[in-house]
Amino acid sequence: MKRNNVVNTMIFALTTMMSVVTVAGCGNSAADKANSPEESSEGFVIDESLASTPKTDTVATGDEIAEPPYFTKGVYANYAREAENPPKTYFYVFNTEDYGYTADGENDDIGLPFDITQEEGKVLFSFGGQDGAEDTLIITGAEGGFVYGYFEDIPERELVFELVNGAEADGFSAVNYLNAASGEDLVYNDANGWSVKYDPSCIEVSGGGPATFFVYTGECAGTSMISVTYDVDMDAEAKAQDLAKAYGEDATVTDCIFPGTEDVEGFYVNANPEQMGPGLYESSFIREYMGGYLIFEFTTHVCGDDAIDIPVSDALASIIDSLSFE
């Protein structure tokens, strides 16, 4: 894992159920910025030089090698020096000059934490933490955002560590960085073991508390979003019945197979299954989860104009369709 320079490349359909949560909008678009790093709609600054600018052939060697530290806080793309047009999908993320982690953008951000000690002419890596086996990177050059070197036990394989301009080490996701660069959906990974994909051009994600919100940001008749909550204050069935009461007397609770699974039973709560036309639509999927319940709740507004309603329905449906569990 530590010397992996180039790693090989990287639903449950709910279309009928999502008819009750159809809503409105159009995506945001960002103006092109010439002669400057491109910023995605999610806030990633895309360093186009990673794909287009060849690395320099001028490398400081011997007595010319700069003094440590060679690595500072930041994100470095890692690849073999001899490789031609490397894809640059494997990263070393330095949270400080003393520790960080690796991240594989083609394999779900898989990587290892590491501690480092930077000495003159070499960097000592302890992969897996301070108690991990120590590997020595011999520095052969360092300048202009590039660090060159080889691990002591593989001297024939010189590596390049290229600083990624604009990439923030804190919270860096290799998968989302690469997806943002290619215009693909981003991935939200929740600490409670589930993940979804979403379109950052029209969905804003917020969390930090017991609930996570995926809010549609385009034009719509009213608030359109999915809220996801995990709690242990009751079981899933009790929560489904409690929610149905909150929805009103027309609400129904039915058994279902929970999205993102093939055989996990859950409950589908519909505020008003007979409702048609413009208005507020509310529904939820609930399942037993880690000693409590997990709920995906839809709140949408329909205006009756398909040009507005359908993009919202598609954006929210794509989120629940992409749901997966660890």
Backbone angles phi, psi at 7, to 5 degrees: -105, 145
pLDDT at 25: 38
| Per-residue pLDDT tens listing for the chain (326 residues) | 444 433 333 333 333 333 333 333 333 333 333 334 455 545 555 565 565 444 444 444 445 678 999 999 999 999 999 999 999 999 999 999 999 999 999 999 999 999 999 999 999 999 987 677 799 999 999 999 999 999 999 999 999 999 999 999 999 999 999 999 999 999 999 999 999 999 999 999 998 778 999 999 999 999 999 999 999 999 999 999 999 999 999 999 999 999 999 999 999 999 999 999 999 999 999 999 999 999 999 999 999 999 999 999 999 999 999 999 99
CA 160 to the chain's CA centroid: 25
If residue 306 lies in a helix (H) or strand (E), which one and from where to where? helix 306-321
Return the residue matching tokens 């029209």. 202
User: What are the structure tokens assigned to 206, written together?
Assistant: 């917020």
**Euclidean distance between CA atoms 6 and 19, whole angstroms:** 43
Question: Residue type for 125, please?
Answer: F
Residue 107 β-bridge partners: none
What is the side-by-side strand order in the sheet with 194-198?
A: 186-189, 194-198, 324-325
User: What are the structure tokens assigned to 90, written together?
Assistant: 């494997």
pTM of the model: 0.72
Domain 185-325 adopts which CATH fold? Jelly Rolls (2.60.120)
Task: Parse the chain into domains and list their residue ranges.
Answer: 41-163, 185-325
Contact assessment for residue 302 and residue 24, using Cβ atoms and an 8 Å cutoff: yes
Q: Is residue 253 classed as helix, strand or coil in its secondary structure?
A: strand
pLDDT at 210: 85
Other Cβ atoms closer than 10 A to 321: 18
- Going along 38-172, which residue ranges are E strands? 38-39, 45-46, 74-80, 90-94, 99-104, 113-119, 122-127, 134-143, 146-151, 159-163
**For 37, what's the count of Cα atoms within 13 Å in the CB-facing half-sphere?**
16
pLDDT at 152: 96
What are the C-alpha distances in Å from 232 to residues 181, 193, 239? 39, 15, 10
pLDDT at 14: 35
pLDDT at 284: 98
Report the candidate in 238, 282, 213, 269 with the shortest Cα–Cα distance to residue 23. Answer: 282
Other Cβ atoms closer than 10 A to 124: 15
